[in-house]
Structure 1
C-alpha cells in the first residue's frame, strides 16, 4: 500500500509534511529523522512496522525535506518538539516515538518537558544526553562542507557519503540519493535549510548540549512510566560504549539493543536488525 502524505500546521504556521503507512486507526509509531535527513530515511523500517499491523508515520522536521523552512530561522529543539506534538494530536493515543539523533533529542524535549503525556513509549536511536561531542562535530562538518556550493553530480554525493561512512558499501543505484537533495541549475544541494546550522545561535538547537537538562528530561519520561529503548550502532562515534554504559547505569530501566556493524545511521546500516528491535519493543509494550 502506498504511503499517504498529510500536512500539519505548527504553532507558528510552518507546514510539517508526513507520510502515513498502514492502518490510520492503528496505534502509531512516529519516526523522527536526524539533522540533515528527511522522512525518506525511514522508508524500509516504516514499511516493516506497517506490515505488522501498526500505523507508521514518518515526519519531515521543519527545515528538512518537504516541510517548510522557518522564516526566522527558528530551529530550536523546543520548536521541533512543538511541531511533532501537533502531528501527534492527529493520531490515536499513546503513540511510540522513534527518534534518531536530532529526532531523539526532539523526543526527549517532547515527552520530557513539553507534553509528558504525549508518547506511550520512546525509542532513542544512537543518541544519549551525554553524546560524544567530537562525533557531533564530525556530523556538522560533513553537513557544512558542501552546504553552500552543492555537488556536481550524484556520483560526487555518493563519494562524499562513502568517505563519511566507510563501513557502509557505496550504493550502486544512485537514484535513492535524490530524495535527500534538490537540483538547482546544474548542481545538487542538500534538501534542508542552511540556517539550521548557520543561523543565529539563539535560534538553533543549542539545547542538545545541555546534558543536565536532557538527563532530567529522560528521568521525567521514565518517572511517568513511559517505556524507553536505546538502539546503538556499535561503530557509532556519537554514542561510544562508555557513553552507553553511563546512560544505562543512570537509567537501568531503559532497554538496550547494540547493533553490530552499524554506525550512527543505524536504520540505514542494518535495517532488518533495527526493525526487529523496534517490533520486539512494540510487542512488549503494546498494552
Structure 2
C-alpha cells in the first residue's frame, strides 16, 4: 500500500548537488507501508521501478532517508526500510527494539518489496539487525554489508551516540534541534543536517520540535542506573555472526571508535572469509561522511 505524506523527496536535488552528482531530474521514488502480522506497519522508501537489488537498513535514531545520497550515487533499484519505532514505521507498544525481533519484521518487508535483492546493507543498529536477518532468514540475505558496527560495540565505544540519543526529546525551535545536532556531528555540513532533521523530526502544534523515533527502549542494558538507562549489551549477538552463511563485508569509518581492532579479530575468527574495509575521512556515519565512496564500494559487490 502506498503511503502519502509531506513532500519528503523535494530535497533530493540538494543531496545530489552537495556531493557533485549529476542531476537529470527526480528519480522514481515512493513511500510504501507494509502491514505486519502484529497489526503494526513498517514503512519503506522504494527507489526505481524494477525489483530492488539492494536493501538498506538505517541505524538507531535514524530513518530510511539517511541513505538518500548513497542510493542516488549507486543508481540501482533499492529499498530503504524504516526500522520499527523509527521514521514513519509504527512504534511498538512494548518498546522492544532488540535486533532479532526487528529482523523478523524487516523480513516481512523484504519478502513483499525486495524478494530478489542481491545485497543487504545495515548500519549501526541496522547492521546488527541485518546480521540477525542473515542468521534467521538466510534466503533473504545473499550478501551482507555491515557499516561500522559489530556485536562487540559497547557503552564506551558508542558513548557519543548514546549521549546524543539520551539527550532532550523536545526542543523549543528548529534552531535548537539543529544546534544540538550540529554539536554532535561536527564533520557534516549544516545543509545536510537540516535535511536530516526535517526527515527525522517534526514540528508539534505548539511550535516545538521532537524526534520521530521512540525514545523508550525496553532491552538488555549494560547499566540501567546510568543517565539515559545505560547502553545495550549486544555480545549475545555474536552467535548470529556464527550462523551467517553469506559473504560478509564490514566497512569501518577511519575516524570512528565504534568498532575496535578486537572486534575485527572476533569477526574474522567467526567468519574467516569476511572482508574488512576502512573508509578514509569517515566517522560512524559513513553514508553521511562519504556517500559516494560507500556507493562505489557497494556497487562492486553487485553482480
TM-score normalised according to structure 2 size: 0.80
The answer for unaligned runs of 5 or more in structure 1 is: none
Partner Cα distance (1:167, 1:201) in 2? 31
The separation in 1 between residues aligned to 2:156 and 2:282, in whole angstroms, is 18
Q: How many residues align?
A: 267
Distance 2:220 2:154 in 1: 20
Which residue is equivalent to 1:13? 39
Partner residue, 1:162:
182
Find the residue that maps to 1:231 and give its secondary structure.
Answer: strand
- Inter-partner Cα distance in structure 2 for 1:80 and 1:275: 25
**CA, structure 1 residues 76+86, in 2 after alignment: closer, same or farther (shift >3 Å)?**
same
| Cα-Cα RMSD | 2.4
**Per-residue Cα deviation, 1:74-112 (whole angstroms, up to 9, x for no partner):** 323222111110011122335411100110111111111
Aligned residue number for residue 209 of structure 2: 188
> 2:253 pairs with 233, 236, 255, which one?
233
Preserved contact between residue 241 and residue 267 of structure 2 (Cα < 8 Å)? no
- Distance, in Å, in 2 between the alignment partners of 1:20 and 1:244 is 32
Higher helix share: 1
The reply to whether residue 64 of structure 1 matches residue 89 of structure 2 is no
- 1:96 and 2:119 are equivalent in the alignment: yes
- Say whether residues 1:45 and 2:70 are aligned partners: yes
Q: Equivalent residues in 2 for 1:1-287 (5 A)?
A: 1-25=27-51, 27-49=52-74, 51=75, 54-90=76-112, 91-112=114-135, 114-147=136-169, 150-171=170-191, 174-184=194-204, 185-196=206-217, 199=218, 209-211=233-235, 213-221=236-244, 224=245, 226-282=246-302, 286=303
- Give SS of 1:219's match: helix
Name the structure 1 match of 2:3: none
Sort the Cα spacing of 1:69 and 1:132 in 2 relative to 1 into closer, same or farther, 3 A. Answer: closer
TM-score by length of structure 1 reads: 0.84
Shift of 1:195: 1.7
Counterpart secondary structure, 1:186: coil
CA 1:208–1:142: 2 relative to 1, 3 Å: closer
Q: Tell me what 2:18 maps to.
A: none
Q: Which runs of 5+ in 2 are unaligned?
A: 1-26, 222-229
Moved over 4 A (4+): 199-202
